[in-house]
Structure 1
Amino acid sequence: MTDTNLLHLATQDDTIGIVELRDSLARWQQQKQIQQWVPGELSTEQVAEQISRNEWWVCKEDRKIIAMVRIVETDDLIWPEDDPQAAYIHGLMVDRSLSGQGIGQEVLAWAEQSIFATGHSIARLDCVASNANLCQYYERLGYSERGVVDFGPDSSWFPVRRFEKRGLSGADRSFE
C-alpha cells in the first residue's frame, strides 16, 4: 500500500472483517507472549456501533481488509482530562502478512493528517505499557510519552502508556 487514499470510511459490511483482523492479531500477540488483546474481546456489536459513529477507516486489497484504524474525538477512560484540541487513534492494525512494508506508518500518518485537517492540533494514542518495541516505535515516529494508566488489579485491562504528537491543525494552517 503506497497510496493512503485507499483508506475509506468503514461500512457495516466491514464489521466482520474488522473483528477477524483484530482476532488474528490477538492470536499472533498471544503466540509472541505480548499481553494486549484477547481473541473475541471485541464483538461485532461493538464494532457495528463504532462504525455507526464513523470511527473506523479501512484499507482493502481484493475486498479483504488489510489495514485499519479507529479515530475518536474523546477517550475518557485513558485520557480523562478534557482537551478539545486532541483526537485519539485506536485500533491501528495491519495484516501480519504485510509486516515490514511500512503500512502501519503510512496508516498512522494518514490518521494524523485526518486529525489535524479536522481542526485538532494533538494526535493521541496508547499501547500496552509492557510492549517496549511498540512504545519505541511511536517515539521514533515523533510521539512524546504522556504517562502510564494502570487500571488496577481488578481490571481485565493491562496498563497502557500514553503518547501524543502535536501538529498544526487545519485551521492553523490556513493562516500560514
Structure 2
Amino acid sequence: MSGTVVAPQPAHASDLDAIDALRRSLEDWMAETGLVQWPRGSLPRERIAAQLAGGEWWVVRDAEVGVAGSLRLLRVDPDFWGDDATPAVYVHGLMVDRRRAGTGLGRALLDWSLERARAAGVDVLRLDCRTTNPALRAYYEGYGFTAVGVRDFATFSATLLQMPVDGRPTSS
C-alpha cells in the first residue's frame, strides 16, 4: 500500500462548492488530455448535493488547495452492480486535485477505503471505471483489484473491479 496516510472527514453541505469545482476541473483535464472517464457535466451539482445530504462524500483537506481529494463510499450500488447481495463497500467519485497528483493521495484514499471495508466486516471492496479508460483500470489492478465484469449503459460501459478485504482471492 502507499506510504501516505490520510484521515478523510465526512463532507458537509458547505463542501458542495469545493467538490463540484474539483469534479469540473477533473472533467476539463480529462477532456483536454483525451481521457474518457467523466465527460463534462456528467455529475450535476444537484446530484452532488443530494449525495452530500445522504452522507456519501468524504474529503481530505489541505491548507494550500482546500479539498485535495474526495470520494464517495456506499454499502450498495444497484446502478452498477445490480442486485448482488455480496457484503461490500463501493468506492465512487475518487478524485485528487491535479496539484496533488503523484503524491500518493489516490492510493492513500484506496488504503483508507479498504480499512473502512474491513471495519464494516464486508467481503470485498468494489469500484468501477469506464471501459474506455485502460490507464485507470491498470491503476486499480496495480493496487490489487481484479476485473470481474462489465456493465453496459446507454452511453458507456463500465468495467467492474473488486478486491478482497481479507487478502483472499474473490470471484464474481
Matches of 2:117 and 2:56 in 1, distance apart?
12
Residue 116 (str. 1) matches residue 114 (str. 2): no
What residue is the counterpart of 1:103 in the other structure?
105
Q: Give me the identity figure in percent.
A: 34
Question: Which structure ranks higher in relative contact order (CA pairs < 8 Å, sequence separation ≥ 6)?
Answer: 2
Give the match for residue 138 of structure 2. 136
Deviates more, 1:132-141 or 1:56-65: 56-65
Aligned residue in 1 for 2:163: 165
Structure-2 separation of matches of 1:136 and 1:45: 31
Rounded to whole Å, the distance in 1 between the matches of 2:143 and 2:83 is 24
Unaligned runs of 5+ in 1: 169-176
How many residues align? The count is: 164
Q: Verify the 8 A CA contact 2:94 2:106 in the aligned structure 1.
A: yes
Task: Determine the structure 1 residue equivalent to 2:169.
Answer: none
Which aligned runs of 4 or more in structure 1 are off by greater than 3 angstroms?
none
TM-score, structure 2 length as denominator? 0.89
Q: Structure 1: how far apart are the matches of 2:82 and 2:61?
A: 33
Asked if the contact 1:69/1:111 (under 8 Å) is kept, the reply is no
1:10–1:56 contact (8 Å) kept in structure 2: yes
Calculate the aligned-residue CA RMSD, in Å: 1.8
**Partner residue of 1:92?**
94
Partner SS, residue 15 of structure 1: helix
Structure 2, unaligned runs of 5 or more: 167-172
